[in-house]
Amino acid sequence: MLIKFIENIGDRVIRVILESYDFIFFLFYCLGQFFLIGNYDKKAKDFLLEQIYLSCIKYFVSFIMFALIFGSVIIMVSLSLTLNFNLFDQFGNLLVFFMLNEFTPFFTTLFFVFTYSLATKERIDSIKDQRDNIVAQIYLPKLFNSIFIFPLMSLLFVTMMLFSGYLFASLYMNLDFVTYNHLIINSIEVKNILILFTKSSLFGFVSVLIPLYLSKKNKKLTQEITKSFIKTLVMILMAIIIIELLFIGIFY
């Protein structure tokens, strides 16, 4: 029984190594395709416009409400820390740290994972047989969209959070707009903006790359929808955690 257990562990380790190698190869292959001008034909551009609509315009109102609700929660937590621990002089730094560095990239990605990324695999399975060049006409537009649209939506998300912050600060701390604006602007550094855009791009990229890889790996949708959904979500969250740990090691 022990021998069988060891064999099963060994088989899983080998399988994970092979899958990791296959995924890394797929990653660098897609990155290499970005630099081939011939990949950007009319079909690819039309598909890109469709992805922009599906990822940010279709659920725009829901995204605004999502940003306001979660932004309000984060602002309330920051205000509670400020009032309970007498950290008024650090109020701006706390808001900037929570909003730009951590919560905005994560919550923006979380929203798009459930509204856009997790449906990528099923959508591709239904249309990829109709395309001549799957990588150029489907994969690249989706990845391009994730790299450049996600940071813009993160910027919108943090703007909504700042607006919520002003409302709560004016109600609970009697801050006027000029004082609030001064606290926030003085707390924002170039590093914060860099972290916001870089994290958003990387989070968006992996949240689309993983469903694309699973779609390529499984030629047909042989798994149950629920099982496939959970597997994709777990892989995306693991990738996000790894990126977050790398940022902690580099910037903090």
Q: What is the mean pLDDT of residues 184-199?
A: 84
What's the whole-model pTM score? Answer: 0.80
- Residue 162 makes CB contacts below 8 A (sequence gap 6+) with 95, 99, 184
Say yes or no to pLDDT of 221 above 60.
Answer: no
Q: What is the mean pLDDT of residues 171-197?
A: 79
Say yes or no to pLDDT of 52 above 80.
Answer: yes
Say yes or no to pLDDT of 3 above 80.
Answer: no
CA distance 122 to 116: 11
CA distance 40 to 136: 7
Say yes or no to pLDDT of 126 above 60.
Answer: no
Share of the chain above pLDDT 90, in %: 3
CA distance 236 to 226: 15
Q: Which residue has the higher pLDDT, 196 or 81?
A: 196
Q: Are 159 and 110 in contact (CB under 8 A)?
A: no
Question: Tokens in use for 82?
Answer: 């400020």
Longest dimension (CA), the chain: 71
pLDDT at 132: 58
For the stretch 129-165, pLDDT in tens is 555 567 667 788 888 888 888 888 988 988 888 787 7
Q: Measured between alpha carbons, how far is residue 194 from residues 75, 145, 149, 201 in Å?
A: 22, 19, 16, 11
The mean pLDDT value of the chain amounts to 77
pLDDT at 128: 56
pLDDT at 7: 47
Share of the chain above pLDDT 70, in %: 77
CA distance 193 to 70: 20
Name the band, by pLDDT with cuts 50, 70 and 90, for residue 48: confident
Structural domain boundaries in the chain:
1-34, 66-251
Cα radius of gyration rounded to whole Å, the chain: 21
Say yes or no to pLDDT of 58 above 70.
Answer: yes
Q: What is the mean pLDDT of residues 182-199?
A: 83
